[in-house]
Amino acid sequence: MRRPPPRRAGRPEPSALSSAVRMLARREYGRAELRARLLMRGVAEADADAALDELARRGLLSDARYAEAIVAQKAGRYGRRAIAHALKEKGVDEAAAASALAALAGRDEVDEALALWRRRYGTPPADEREKARQVRFLMARGYPMAIALKVLRAAGAARDDDIA
């Protein structure tokens, strides 16, 4: 992570609010992540909380908008479980996360996993070792075992008794 440049003598420290606005100008942040970054820069906890409250009041800081951005970024490349985990790790509150994940409700995870598998592999695995590798890939992307097996079956790679 980059450190801010050293301050020249006579220049005042930027306020917590201006630091937060500069960070938000680059990309969307969640409240918890932005608070952690401000504290890491040496901003006092009370000042950081006051700045975050002001940004939320102005509509510049929104966990719901941040959660929607994460879901949009990861949809199609990760399963619902992985996306939910990413939201939790980034400190997005549960209500905002649930609302953002609701956007995925109409999508078919099997079709998404199959499209991801085709982009990554394209051809059915040649042996059991390769099958296991492909299943692990899909599971690491947040798809359950059942969906990973359906993908391999749809690709013609597995019979019902091949992988259990």
Q: Say whether both 31 and 53 belong to one domain.
A: yes
Per-residue pLDDT at 6 exceeds 80: no
Q: What value does the mean pLDDT of the chain take?
A: 87
Query: Domain range spanning residue 48?
Result: 16-58
Degrees to nearest 5, angle at CA 80 with 76 and 86 = 95
Q: Say whether both 53 and 23 belong to one domain.
A: yes
pLDDT tens digits along 92-143: 999 999 999 998 888 889 999 999 999 999 889 989 999 999 999 999 999 9
Confidence (pLDDT) at 157: 54
In a domain, 4, yes or no: no
The closest alpha carbon to 24, from 49, 56, 50, belongs to 56
What SS3 state is found at 84? helix
Per-residue pLDDT at 43 exceeds 60: yes
In a domain, 6, yes or no: no
Q: Say whether both 45 and 70 belong to one domain.
A: no
Look up the pTM and report it. 0.76
In a domain, 137, yes or no: yes
Contacts of 55 (CB under 8 A, 6+ apart): 17, 20, 21, 24, 34, 61
Number of structural domains, the chain?
Answer: 3
Q: What is the Cα–Cα distance from 48 to 108, expressed in whole angstroms?
A: 41
In a domain, 164, yes or no: no
Q: Say whether both 24 and 54 belong to one domain.
A: yes
